[in-house]
Amino acid sequence: MTAAARLAPRALYEEVAERLRQRIYARELAPGDWIDELKIAQELGISRTPLREALKVLAAEGLVTMKVRRGAYVTESSAKDLADVYHLLELLETDAADVVARAATDTQLRELAALHADLEASAADTARFFALNEAFHLRMLEIAENKWRLQMVQDLRKVMKLHRQHSLQKAGRLQASLAEHAALMAALMARDGERAAHCMRQHFRGGLEAAS
């Protein structure tokens, strides 16, 4: 058996997991929905084995809940669940903002500034705004160079995405988010770690208020 053949099943369930993940984010599979394994397997033209492996991945991420003898359901998040996720993200990304302000190279700061400029230009395109917003935050975490923090944030952000569409629909939230990002970017460029941490903290608190 070739190496490619041995890796094929893994690649398949990861692809299936990503497709389901995007359906969940788009609310095609809404919180509380039962996941019809047979129907989805038929739609995707696959057996139920890679689908079940994909569901295990999503369950580990908190997007799916497995219930004994009842199957898989899209996870329903309580107000406390959401607050807990935002609290942890605030702690992790506030610390990262402080590190980046103090230790990033000029080239890295220019890279973040370019992402921020693209973010400001994408305000009319919600999907692009979300993608650029996440790219900015994850690039900042990469620059902070703590792989464990990065992994934790990536997992937590998967849960946060369940609420992001709702949060930006609140009047004035998109504009407020952009203003928060601008303040953060100014603090980073000024290499003011304390102010960058404060800006990031306010950014997450504003996000939680809008998502709640």
Q: Given this model, what pLDDT does residue 185 score?
A: 98
Phi, psi of 26 (to 5 degrees): -85, 0
Question: Does 38 share its domain with 128?
Answer: no
CATH number of domain containing 43: 1.10.10.10
pTM as predicted? 0.78
Please calculate the CA angle 66-72-77 and round it to the nearest 5 degrees.
70
N-to-C CA span, the chain: 52
Domain enclosing residue 136, as ranges: 79-211
Q: Are strands 64-67 and 71-74 parallel, antiparallel or unpaired?
A: antiparallel
Domain total in the chain:
2
Whether the Cβ atoms of residue 211 and residue 164 lie closer than 8 Å to each other: yes
What average pLDDT is seen over the chain?
Answer: 89
Question: Does 112 share its domain with 136?
Answer: yes
**Pick from 37, 59, 74: which residue ends a domain?**
74
Question: Does 193 share its domain with 91?
Answer: yes
CATH number of domain containing 118: 1.20.120.530
Question: Does 70 share its domain with 91?
Answer: no
pLDDT tens per residue across span 44-64: 999 999 999 999 999 988 889
Q: Given this model, what pLDDT does residue 126 score?
A: 82
pLDDT tens per residue across span 106-155: 999 999 999 999 999 998 888 888 889 999 999 999 999 999 999 999 98
Question: Does 32 share its domain with 70?
Answer: yes
pLDDT at residue 158 is higher than 90: no
Q: Given this model, what pLDDT does residue 194 score?
A: 98
Question: Does 86 share its domain with 70?
Answer: no
Q: Given this model, what pLDDT does residue 106 score?
A: 97
Question: Does 97 share its domain with 34?
Answer: no
pLDDT tens per residue across span 15-41: 999 999 989 988 899 889 999 999 999
**Pick from 26, 50, 74: which residue ends a domain?**
74
Question: Does 97 share its domain with 168?
Answer: yes
**For the residues 182-206, what does the mean pLDDT come to?**
97
**Pick from 27, 45, 74: which residue ends a domain?**
74
SS3 call for 26 = coil
**Residue 60 burial class via C-beta count within 10 angstroms: exposed 0-12, middle 13-18, buried 19 and up:** exposed
Question: Does 59 share its domain with 113?
Answer: no
Question: Does 47 share its domain with 152?
Answer: no
Question: Does 43 share its domain with 84?
Answer: no
Cα torsion angle, 198, 204, 206, 208, sign: negative
pLDDT at residue 9 is higher than 70: no
Question: Does 53 share its domain with 107?
Answer: no
Q: With pLDDT > 90 as the criterion, what percentage of the chain qualifies?
A: 66
